[in-house]
Structure 1
Amino acid sequence: MKDSAIILDLDDTLIATHYRQYSCIYDYLQSIGKSFIGFDEYYHLRRTHHLSNSNLLKFLHINPQWEKFNTYYLQSIESKKYLAADTLIADKHLLARVKEKKHTLILLSLRSNPANSLHQLQQLGLANYFDEIHFVQHKLTTNPKIQFLRLLNQSHDIIAFCSDSAPDYEAAVQLNINFVQVKTSLYELPGFEKATQFLDINQYFLSLL
């Protein structure tokens, strides 16, 4: 008999990455002598205008020397320095109570540096709550979580996949997995038609207790 499993995304589901992304961009622009907006304005513009970081810079008419910027961002964004800027969304007391319900808790995250990512989970006190931790590499041409979700779906009875992102929702729908949408993304996304919606992951945890 398969165990009942809850799959949890990490970035902007369990932890807030907003200031990490901002700091990485700010530091790069400072290094090439360009100024940048404050964090509150950055957050407001990204959330209300549905802007990626690149589109935000274009919106602000900032040319960051794109090739150098992209290289710096990809090499730096998962460094320990910037990962330390992330803050918890998840209430660990609620997470512990959910774990007591005997669900298998699985972390499934798009990350390029597994070692630094695991170190971050340990520093935040999250690592021990999970029965499985999986970091999947980014891919530009395909949704990288679909194949991994398919494998997890074969070995577990997945009762929910919890995330903030549209690609995760699309993967869940494709595999007929119940999707729990949390509204903590940097993008102010609409409610997904086939998702159960919560303001944040803690509201979902409370629904299980």
Structure 2
Amino acid sequence: MLHDSLKVGSAENLLSPDEIDCLTSRIAEGLGTDARFALSQRQRSVHSLAGESLARVKEVYEPHGRVEYDELPAEVTGVLDNAVARRLDELRRIFPSARRSMDWLYVEYGAGQYVTPHVDYPFNEIAPDRPKVAAIGIVLHEPEGGGQFFVETGGGDALWDDEGKIRTGANDHSTWFTRMRRTRWHVTSHSGDAVCWGTQLVHGTEPVTAGRSGKFIGFLGT
């Protein structure tokens, strides 16, 4: 499983045009009736930092904000799970340990917004015996400029502990992480496409320069 968590893969046109239309409508409806998911209103985050406040977590991971819609209707998660299930055999060529999709949320970035480089980690808090193999990002809205997803790699030992696992604290809260040199690999994908990245890979997004970037984020689990 740890080998799988260091891979990158994709599934182009994972969502059909009808599914894109359905999801776009449902997300617009949900965000239009509840402001809790915008940066200024959110009282929680999918990210965390031990001993740090929510304000600090937001500052580290999304310094200029983002929408984080983490209470998705069952209709939305059902569409996403079904789309992944249709293509799971393809995804398992890259991530053989993957058996299911889970833990969906929707994120959206406007001009100047981005998420900083970080690692998701395989540990599954809800089911520790079923690790998260990879994350999956499905594009709903393409920005007019910027917003590219990226993964980062680094030679040497700085990212790894003595057991060969990704080191704790791989995010911009850690001085060792911000100081280490890494190589950035950019991804180009379009509405309906899915990109998958192992849960031990450093990843993030470039700032959106025009328009908005909207995507669903979930995990492929064992």
Under a length normalisation based on structure 1, what TM-score does the superposition of the two structures give?
0.31
Report 1 or 2 for greater relative contact order, CA contacts < 8 Å, sequence distance ≥ 6: 2
Q: Which has the larger radius of gyration?
A: 1
Return the structure number with greater strand share: 2
Return the structure number with greater helix share: 1
